[in-house]
A = this chain, B = another copy of it.
């Protein structure tokens, strides 16, 4: 089998965001569109970034007119601003939503049509302008991935856009930006990291290069997600979770994902739920379903999460890993069921069809039918 592994240049560490101006210059940028979460406008990290851009002599325009689970029309607005101001590069700053929008704007700045034309795998042809991504959650992994997820507002469907062109030039990961986040957001985004790592590790497209990243990310989440939720000021936990998010991102960008993400995209297209929360609810159910495909890998996941192999069969060990994931979700206060979030069984049929068509379903390790997807949704209800 021939496999590929691609990643951006990564700059990691406390204080690293102050290098953004210098990085933009190095990429040949002169006027940058900064795409950010609306909530970030009053945060210190934006101030540091603007200062760094000014010091490097960079012009900038800020775009923050976007929502969680971002929409096609938000991308269009950002693109119009980019063109109106004659920008030549983008910086994405925020959670996965801001970064996905930044990528989509970069895409449309040099490629014709609307964002809908690029749904699916490898549809981008013209090269994109310089892109620097700065995550403020640990998190989406979008800062290193070849994915952008944008909602088609008419079809109420999350479009999965996959292309090497969406891998940014530089990802700047500064654990200091994580300390302003609430325990609830830290929990939801941390469980998203765990889902990325587990789905990438059991993916049919996994390779030794993605496996080392995925297993280390699982280990870090097992050790540091609880303390990170417990305290905003635990610097060690924030740094380790930032690394976990990065490594999970590198793993899933190259190994792709599985049924949890396919189903979660189907939910997120219709309902404004936190992506990480939906993943956390679906994850143990899909793990139980997928166990048949690769018991050894699920046993390794259990060990990475701190379970002891001694005295257990492979299956027993693998099952203890699934229980470990359930306990972690419960400990950090993640929602227990889709019903808790407001979902009803009426939606399941339609969402199951959408999930089965999602690009992430292709790499799920166990063959899956519409009946399986419906049953999994019912279990998670």
Contacts and interface: CB of A to CB of B under 8 A. Distances in A.
Contacts of A213: 212
Interface in A214-235: 216
A10 interface: yes
A47 interface: no
Contacts of A379: none
A100 to B, nearest CB: 22
Given A208-B243, A213-B212, A216-B208, A9 B9 contact: no
16 contacts: A1-B14, A2-B11, A2-B12, A2-B15, A2-B19, A3-B13, A4-B9, A5-B7, A5-B9, A5-B12, A9-B164, A10-B209, A208-B216, A208-B243, A209-B247, A212-B213
Interface in A1-40: 1-7, 9-16, 19
A140 interface: no
A223 to B, nearest CB: 12
Interface string A237-255: 0000001001100000000
A178 to B, nearest CB: 16
Contacts of A19: 2
Given A212-B216, A216-B212, A3 B12 contact: yes
A207 interface: yes
A5 B10 contact: yes
Contacts of A11: 2-4
A151 to B, nearest CB: 30
Contacts of A164: 9
A370 to B, nearest CB: 34
Nearest to A1: B13
A11 B5 CA distance: 7
A56 B216 CA distance: 40
A13 B207 CA distance: 11
Contacts of A9: 4-6, 164
Contacts of A12: 2-5, 207, 209
Nearest to A16: B2
A112 to B, nearest CB: 21
Given A5-B7, A5-B9, A10-B209, 11 more contacts: A2-B12, A2-B16, A4-B10, A4-B12, A5-B10, A7-B7, A12-B207, A12-B209, A208-B216, A212-B212, A212-B247
A207 B9 CA distance: 14
Nearest to A11: B4
Interface centre among A4, A13, A207, A243 (most CB of B within 10 A): A4
Nearest to A164: B9
A18 to B, nearest CB: 9
6 closest Cβ contacts across the A-B interface?
A2-B13, A5-B10, A212-B212, A6-B9, A2-B16, A212-B216
A1 B216 CA distance: 20
Contacts of A5: 7, 9-10, 12
A246 B212 CA distance: 13
A3 B16 CA distance: 9
A163 B6 CA distance: 19
Interface string A249-270: 0000000000000000000000
Nearest to A26: B164
A19 B3 CA distance: 12
A86 to B, nearest CB: 24
